[in-house]
Amino acid sequence: MPVIDQNEIRQVILNLARNGLEAMESGGTLTIGTTAEKGEIILYVKDEGPGLKPEFIDKIGTPFFTTKEKGTGLGLAVCYSIAARHKAKLEFESSFRGTTFKMRFREHKEE
């Protein structure tokens, strides 16, 4: 059975939640949850911020890239690294209605 490091997954949730909350300067709802689809377990963090600017899309997750005045640009890079260690895939979708990050784990079936 695959081993999940709960502290690392907690770090992913904290980083994504912090980013989502900071994106919603005018308020909104932050949703954190899990779901299963097509043999995957998905952890998601969804915000209702203004979405990512198109010119930033290709830079998301790049170490030291930040859109924040006091950001380090390491939060999402750490999230991508943790996802890779867990053989998971971290992806996002963004529009003017908000951004959703999804961490996809392959479902493990007991035999």
User: What is 12-106's CATH superfamily?
Assistant: Histidine kinase-like ATPase, C-terminal domain (3.30.565.10)
Strands (E), 30-88: 31-37, 40-46
Q: Label residues 78-93 b or e (16+ Cβ within 10 Å = b).
A: bbbbbbeebebebebe
**Quick check: 43 pLDDT over 60?**
yes
Report d(CA 100, CA 81) in Å as an integer.
18
Tokens of 10: 């907690």
Q: What is the pLDDT confidence band of residue 27, given thresholds at 50, 70 and 90?
A: very high
**Quick check: 1 pLDDT over 60?**
no
The chain-wide mean pLDDT, for the chain, equals 90
CB 46 within 8 A of CB 100: yes
